[in-house]
Amino acid sequence: MTIDIIGAGIGGLTTAIALERKGFNVRVFEQTEKIKPIGAGIILANNAIQVYEKLGLKETIEKNGNPISSLNITKANLKPLSKVDLSSFEKKFKAKNIAIHRGILQQILINKLNSSSLKLNHKLKKISKNKNGYSLEFHNGEKIQSSTLLGADGINSIVRQHLFLNNTIRNANQICWRGVTEYNLPQKYQNELNEAWGKTERFGFVQIAKNKVYWYALKSFKKNKEEFFNVNNIINYFNEYNPIIKNIISSTKKEQIHATEISDLKPINKWYDENVCLIGDSAHATTPNMGQGACQAIEDAYILSECLRKYDTNRAFKAFQKLRLPKAHQVTKSSWMIGKIAHWSNPILIGIRNKVIQLTPSSINKKQFEQIFKIPNL
Ligand SMILES: Cc1cc2nc3c(=O)[nH]c(=O)nc-3n(C[C@H](O)[C@H](O)[C@H](O)COP(=O)(O)OP(=O)(O)OC[C@H]3O[C@@H](n4cnc5c(N)ncnc54)[C@H](O)[C@@H]3O)c2cc1C
């Protein structure tokens, strides 16, 4: 059986690898002519690493990334508000949380894939149903017949737009800058993710390799968002932040900073239709506030490949949706809410928020992380 996947992002590639390991033929159609390394890092949480262990990739990812042992929310001056120690999860799930350069992760995934599976320069234009399944028409003029199709083509998925009506992309009215810089972090920050919350902005940083730091910063906007795309302005928004943060920003080459508007897909309740199924961001794009978007796509890859191994296609898609939808929606909803609370501007509300974060018992934080890190054993 051949399974066709539209999109060679983290979701599409991981799903292709998982399916190939189970003996399926896979074709992955990617719109770009060349897979370009993305200039940013990514945090692969415990749940993603558990999946990569099953796919034989854990060691390579660990070797090429940096382990994170604590997730911290701090004030702008880097004074801690909350600290989640990840060591108990590392023991329980036998997996770490790894920060890694996106380009390196992408290359690791491509190296694992059967080299003939990836079809570059194939931008999907149109899907038409016919009696044998689906006819796929690409912008390069090619047409192919597909019996089983997975839409892994991201938040603006054309597969979703063709087959699933009524979906809404929500703009969070926040801009996100991401950068990677050569920077020697003080020892105490080298195995931590720190996210400093201010008023209508926040700044996160993490080491992804020796002397290499990935950082991201978000700021709310109401109008005139154009000014935020000028990367020379960023440092001005973080004047009141700890000097380390300002040094990280100023050490970054301007061409290594990328700005994106933040959005998500308002949760949809159906991810499949006959022999077509959505995975990753095309099914459940979330805001990045929990660092779980790609991790959820990676969980999809594992669960869907298991379901397709066990059941016929339509039953597999049904089982996949039942297993994955509640958790993916929970992440989307919580992440949306965190994004709003983190950017409150009223000083009284900020004071209350910070107190609540400080006073939240670590057992509650741990319980929430455990729910996210736990993956079903199939
Ligand atoms: C600022 C930011 C920080 C983030 N940080 C983290 C993090 O630390 N941890 C984490 O887990 N997640 C994080 N995420 C989320 C994560 O990046 C996404 O959830 C993840 O990349 C989704 O993967 P995907 O494969 O589903 O979609 P995508 O990565 O969007 O890939 C879709 C692919 O499909 C291709 N494509 C699109 N249309 C077509 C077409 N018509 N024909 C053919 N190909 C097509 C695209 O070129 C692309 O290669 C972050 C997101 C943002 C915005």
DSSP line for 22-41: TT-EEEEE-SSSS-PPPSSE
| Ligand 1 center from residue 84 Cα (angstroms) | 26
Is residue 236 in some structural domain?
Answer: no
CATH number of the domain enclosing 85: 3.50.50.60
pLDDT digits over 349-365, tens only?
888 888 888 888 888 88
pLDDT exceeds cutoff 80 at 165 = no
360: left (phi over 0), alpha (psi -120 to 50) or beta: beta
d(CA 290, CA 168): 21
Q: In angstroms, what is the span from residue 303 Cα to ligand 1's centroid? A: 19
Q: Looking at the chain, how many residues does it have?
A: 378
Ligand 1 midpoint to CA 246 (Å): 28
pLDDT value of residue 353: 83
Whether the pLDDT of residue 162 is over 90: the answer is: no
Three-class SS of residue 157?
A: coil
Q: What is the CB neighbour count within 10 angstroms for residue 364?
A: 9
At 254, the amino acid letter reads: K
Measured CA to CA, the distance from residue 277 to residue 318 in angstroms comes to: 9
End-to-end CA distance of the chain: 22
Q: Is the pLDDT of residue 216 over 90?
A: yes
Query: Where does ligand 1 bind, in terms of residues with CB under 6 Å?
Result: 6-12, 29-32, 42-43, 122-124, 152-154, 158, 176, 178, 216, 260, 280-281, 288, 291-295, 297
Dist. CA 254–CA 177, nearest whole Å: 11
Q: CA 229, 332, 14, 165: dihedral to nearest 10 degrees?
A: -90
- Return the pLDDT at 96: 96
Pocket probe mutation, ligand 1, options 5, 10, 289, 373, max atoms within 8 Å of Cβ:
10
**Local confidence band at 306 (pLDDT 50, 70, 90 cut-offs):** very high
Q: Is the pLDDT of residue 340 over 90?
A: no
Distance 166 CA to ligand 1 centre (A): 21
Number of independent structural domains in the chain:
1
Q: What pLDDT does 348 receive?
A: 84
For β-strands 66-68 and 80-85, DSSP reports them as unpaired
Q: What is the pLDDT of residues 41-58, one digit of tens each?
A: 999 999 999 999 999 999
Instruction: Count Cβ neighbours within 10 Å for each residue of 140-161 and write b for 16 or more, e otherwise.
Output: eeeeeebebbbbbbbbebbbbe
Question: Does residue 53 lie in a domain region?
Answer: yes
Residue 75 lies in a domain: yes
How high is the pLDDT of residue 79? Answer: 96
Testing ligand 1's pocket by substitution, the residue of 4, 14, 30 carrying the most ligand atoms inside 8 A of its CB is: 30
201 part of a folded domain: no
Ligand 1 center to 304 CA (angstroms): 18
Please say whether the beta carbons of 88 and 366 come within 8 A: yes
Domain assignment of residue 367, yes or no: yes
Is 231 part of any domain? Answer: no
Q: How many Cβ atoms are within 10 Å of 91's Cβ, its own excluded?
A: 9
Residue 136 lies in a domain: yes
| Ligand 1 center to 48 CA (angstroms) | 15
Average pLDDT over residues 22-33: 97
How far is the C-alpha of 132 from the C-alpha of 145, rounded, in Å?
Answer: 8
Ligand 1, atom 2, residue with closest C-alpha? 288
Q: Give the ligand 1 atom nearest the CA of 8.
A: 49
| 123-133 pLDDT, tens digit each | 999 999 999 99
The domain in which residue 81 lies consists of 2-169+264-373
pLDDT at 276: 97
The atom number, within ligand 1, closest to the CA of 43 reads 8
**Which has more confidence, 39 or 198?**
198
User: Residues 160, 26, 8, CA angle at the centre, nearest 5°?
Assistant: 55
Tell me: pLDDT of 70 over 80.
yes
Q: How much of the chain exceeds pLDDT 70, in percent?
A: 100
Ramachandran assignment for 278, one of left (phi > 0), alpha (psi -120 to 50 degrees), beta (any other): beta
State yes or no: pLDDT of 331 exceeds 80.
yes
When pLDDT is averaged across residues 140-149 and rounded to a whole number, the result is: 97
CB proximity list for 12: less than 8 A, separation 6 or greater: 5, 6, 28, 30, 150, 152, 153, 279, 280
Q: What pLDDT score does 314 carry? A: 94
For residue 26, what pLDDT band results from cuts at 50, 70 and 90? very high
CB under 8 Å to 48, separation ≥6 — which residues?
294, 295, 298, 299
- Number of the ligand 1 atom closest to the C-alpha atom of 32: 47
**Which has the higher per-residue pLDDT, 306 or 362?**
306
User: Would residue 237 count as lying in a domain?
Assistant: no
Residue among 111, 22, 45, 35 nearest 331 (CA): 45
Report CA(363)–ligand 1 centroid distance (Å).
Answer: 32
Q: Which pair of structure tokens corresponds to residue 172? A: 């969070």
CA gap 314, 311 in Å, rounded: 8
* Cα-to-centroid distance, 333 and ligand 1 (Å): 18
Angle in degrees, CA 14, 17, 18, rounded to 5: 85
Residue 38's pLDDT is 76
pLDDT at 238: 95
Q: pLDDT class for 366, splitting at 50, 70, 90?
A: confident
| pLDDT tens per residue, range 267-304 | 999 999 999 999 999 999 999 999 999 999 999 999 99
pLDDT tens-digit readout, 71-119: 999 999 999 999 999 999 999 999 999 999 999 999 999 999 998 999 9
- What's at 264, amino acid-wise? D
- Identify any residues that bridge with 25 across adjacent strands, giving them in sequence order: 2
